Amino acid sequence: MNPVPIIYENSEIIIINKPQGVAVQGGQNIAHPLDRELPQQLGYPVYLVHRLDQETQGLLVVAKTPQAANKWTHLIGEKAVTKEYDAVCIGVPSNPKGQFKSSINDRGIEKSALTFYEVKKTWDIDSYRLSLIHLTLGTGRMHQIRIHLAKAGFPIAGDDKHGDFKANKAIKKLTGIKRLQLISSRLTIPVDGQNLTFELEIPFKVELKPQSEVNTSSC
């Protein structure tokens, strides 16, 4: 496994760019989980603060001590940390900005969930329309973004668990998209009385010219 890119570090936490395909936590049939590989890279243990799906790339906070892990888990739970994502989706919402608000079964328990969205670009590909959607978590349920988008009728391209398998297969032939098109692209955290924001370049390569830039100035 290649070294995990480190985006930021202080005495309490490290922010990394988790590669796509790397599981955050070990388990059955998981060969190179982050919670084992990152300590080997750094030379000291780390403690998980939150999770990303195995197929989701992007910004992830890990703590250096159990005390820091407790603190940052609490900060995330209190929404002092803002987590934002970008996804290529199949379909285009009728409103360029809005929210998805429906309950999600999180580890066997129905919980309320809230995701804010903004459409950034759209494409026409054969008989399909794709959209680049920016998403901000209002809550942090398991697979929340994937489930909310699928329920709303705009599943993430490459999501064969919650999305549209038939459409994924067709779009793969048309565009070369093979994996889940979701990235944890922007993270804002409180440090020493101020908010620090970290942002990744969106890696999605849809090899077609964008049909339109969505105008959201009036929303």
Q: What is the pLDDT of residues 53-112, one digit of tens each?
A: 999 999 999 999 999 999 999 999 999 999 999 999 999 999 999 999 999 988 889 999
Is 35 a known active-site residue?
no
- Bridging pattern class, strands 57-63 and 182-191: parallel
Cα three-residue angle 187-214-197, rounded to 5 degrees: 15
Output the pTM of the full model.
0.90
How far is CA 74 from each of CA 19, 53, 67, rounded to the nearest angstrom?
A: 25, 20, 11
Return phi, psi of residue 163, to 5°. Answer: -95, -150
Run means of pLDDT, 10 residues per run, the chain, 219 residues: 94 97 88 94 97 96 98 96 97 97 90 96 92 95 95 96 94 90 98 96 68 42
Split into its structural domains, the chain has a count of 2
Whether residues 19 and 49 share a domain: the answer is: yes
The domain in which residue 179 lies consists of 82-214
Domain boundary residue, one of 78, 103, 137: 78
Whether residues 89 and 60 share a domain: the answer is: no
Tell me whether residue 145 is in a domain.
yes
Token code pair at residue 92: 């285009």
Tell me whether residue 206 is in a domain.
yes
Distance from C-alpha of 52 to C-alpha of 50, rounded to nearest angstrom: 7
> Which domain CATH number covers 148?
3.30.2350.10
Give, as one character, the DSSP assignment of residue 19.
Answer: P
Q: Please tell me which residue in 35, 53, 86, 159 is annotated as part of the active site.
A: 53
